[in-house]
């Protein structure tokens, strides 16, 4: 870090994270519930295909100047206009009808691993439209509501239950959300300049760690993740750089506040933590990194400092 100077860090009067439930949040929860039930399909025979219609098609894909298809998908089910492997195919179905055959030329884009060998290749697709359905969401009747929760009688009861759940979820996120708000307010008060080499190195470390965890935890390759998010490796690295900058700044701000306010752990707090780690060590309940008493003491000191910053900066 080339420069860091802690600015004003007291009495910032930061507006607290709002835990009240908004009407749109309840509606989103209702939409999710409706989406969990079977949709109603009505066949369309002579009406033009529209976005979000459900179709069953046969697809043949021919490489340039070829007479035999190298891509063949029979009875493929598509939601017209949706994101996915065949989104360009579905886009060419708009306005067509059941029984039509559509032919179009395109270049295979790098948005599907199964087509990786043909990325950048010119193709001609022939699509035979076999069936078309309009998909409707079921109505949220009292019968359907009782399937969600037998004790509920009507839509108002369901909304009240959802509001309570959303409130509990928000309250669970409240501390972390308030910490983020405090961080954003503190950053605006500080003067700082990063060492670009140091920041790039930290970003590359995060990038490498993320890639490894992606494979271990989610069993996903980096390329698959990038395609799913529709971003490049450079964009992901930029995100890692931004996260690295936040971590560096947060660490510097916390350490500076500890120094200025002379925040320390009391003998009773140290004794309590030592007792806890010894008990957990005996029971085998702690991860390996928490077996280090110095690590645990440092973590507790950080928590104590964050509690202090929340107390003196959050608006009443």
* 83 occurs within a structural domain: yes
Same domain, 275 and 193: yes
Same domain, 272 and 221: yes
* 208 occurs within a structural domain: yes
What are the tokens at 311?
A: 């107390």
CATH number at residue 57: 3.10.50.30
Pair 178, 310: CB distance under 8 Å: yes
Q: Which domain holds residue 184?
A: 3-15+173-313
Report how far residue 101's alpha carbon sits from residue 57's, in angstroms, rounded to the nearest whole number.
Answer: 9
Predicted local confidence at residue 291, as pLDDT: 62
What are the tokens at 11?
A: 């009495």
Same domain, 130 and 190: no
Q: Which run of H or E residues covers position 40?
A: strand 40-43
Same domain, 9 and 60: no
Same domain, 305 and 181: yes
Domain total of the chain: 2
* 166 occurs within a structural domain: no
* 149 occurs within a structural domain: no
Same domain, 119 and 51: yes
Same domain, 178 and 309: yes
Report how far residue 170's alpha carbon sits from residue 165's, in angstroms, rounded to the nearest whole number.
Answer: 9
Alpha helices (H) in 81-154, listed in sequence order: 87-91, 142-148
Same domain, 276 and 200: yes
Is the predicted pLDDT of residue 292 greater than 80, yes or no?
no
Is the predicted pLDDT of residue 308 greater than 80, yes or no?
yes
* 34 occurs within a structural domain: no
Predicted local confidence at residue 304, as pLDDT: 95
Same domain, 127 and 187: no
Is the predicted pLDDT of residue 236 greater than 90, yes or no?
yes
Predicted local confidence at residue 227, as pLDDT: 85
The last residue of a domain, from among 136, 159, 187: 136
13 Ramachandran zone, left/alpha/beta (phi>0; psi -120 to 50): left
Pair 13, 313: CB distance under 8 Å: yes
Is the predicted pLDDT of residue 281 greater than 80, yes or no?
no
CA nearest neighbour of 15 among 178, 253, 187, 190 = 178
Q: Which one-letter DSSP state was computed for residue 150? A: T
| Model confidence pLDDT, tens digit, residues 191-235 | 999 999 999 999 999 999 999 999 999 999 999 899 888 889 999
CATH number at residue 258: 1.10.3120.10
Strand 122-136 relative to strand 101-107, pairing? antiparallel
Q: Given CA atoms 162, 167, 172, 174 in this order, what sign does their dihedral have?
A: positive
* 252 occurs within a structural domain: yes
Predicted local confidence at residue 190, as pLDDT: 95
Give how far Cα 13 sits from Cα of 170, 181, 182, 315, Å.
21, 11, 9, 5
Report how far residue 273's alpha carbon sits from residue 294's, in angstroms, rounded to the nearest whole number.
Answer: 10
pLDDT band, residue 285 (cuts 50/70/90): low
Same domain, 194 and 106: no
Angle between helices 222-229 and 233-261 (to 10 degrees): 90
| Count of other CB atoms within 10 angstroms of residue 27 | 12
The last residue of a domain, from among 115, 136, 157: 136
| Model confidence pLDDT, tens digit, residues 59-75 | 999 998 888 888 888 99
Same domain, 194 and 67: no
| Model confidence pLDDT, tens digit, residues 131-163 | 999 888 888 888 889 888 899 989 999 999 999
* 93 occurs within a structural domain: yes
Predicted local confidence at residue 186, as pLDDT: 96
pLDDT band, residue 5 (cuts 50/70/90): very high
User: Could you tell me the pTM of the whole model?
Assistant: 0.69
Predicted local confidence at residue 208, as pLDDT: 96
Same domain, 210 and 304: yes
């Amino acid at each position: 870090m080339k420069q860091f100077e802690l600015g004003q860090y007291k009495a910032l009067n930061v507006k607290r994270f709002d835990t009240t439930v908004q009407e749109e949040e309840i509606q989103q929860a209702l939409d999710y519930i409706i989406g969990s039930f079977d949709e109603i399909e009505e066949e369309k025979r002579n009406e033009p295909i529209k976005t979000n219609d459900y179709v069953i098609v046969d697809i043949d894909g021919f490489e340039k100047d070829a007479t035999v298809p190298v891509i063949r998908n029979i009875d493929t089910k598509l939601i017209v206009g949706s994101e996915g492997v065949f989104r360009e195919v579905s886009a060419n179905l708009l306005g067509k009808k059941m029984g039509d055959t559509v032919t179009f030329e395109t270049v295979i884009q790098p948005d599907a691993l199964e087509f990786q060998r043909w990325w950048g290749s010119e193709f001609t697709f022939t699509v035979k439209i076999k069936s078309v359905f309009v998909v409707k969401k079921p109505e949220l009747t009292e019968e359907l509501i009782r399937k969600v929760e037998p004790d509920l009688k009507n839509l108002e009861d369901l909304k009240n239950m959802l509001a309570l759940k959303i409130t509990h979820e928000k309250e669970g996120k409240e501390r972390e959300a308030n910490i983020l708000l405090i961080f954003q307010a503190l950053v605006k008060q500080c003067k700082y300049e990063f060492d670009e080499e140091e920041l790039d190195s930290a970003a590359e470390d995060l990038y490498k760690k993320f890639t490894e965890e992606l494979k271990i935890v989610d069993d996903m390759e980096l390329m698959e993740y990038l395609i799913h998010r529709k971003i490049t490796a450079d964009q992901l690295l930029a995100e890692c750089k931004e996260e690295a900058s936040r971590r560096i700044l947060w660490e510097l701000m916390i350490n500076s506040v500890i120094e200025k306010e002379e925040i320390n752990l009391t003998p009773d707090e140290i004794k309590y933590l030592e007792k806890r780690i010894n008990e957990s060590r005996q029971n085998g309940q702690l991860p390996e990194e928490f077996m280090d008493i110095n690590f645990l003491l440092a973590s507790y000191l950080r928590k104590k400092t964050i509690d202090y910053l929340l107390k003196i900066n959050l608006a009443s």
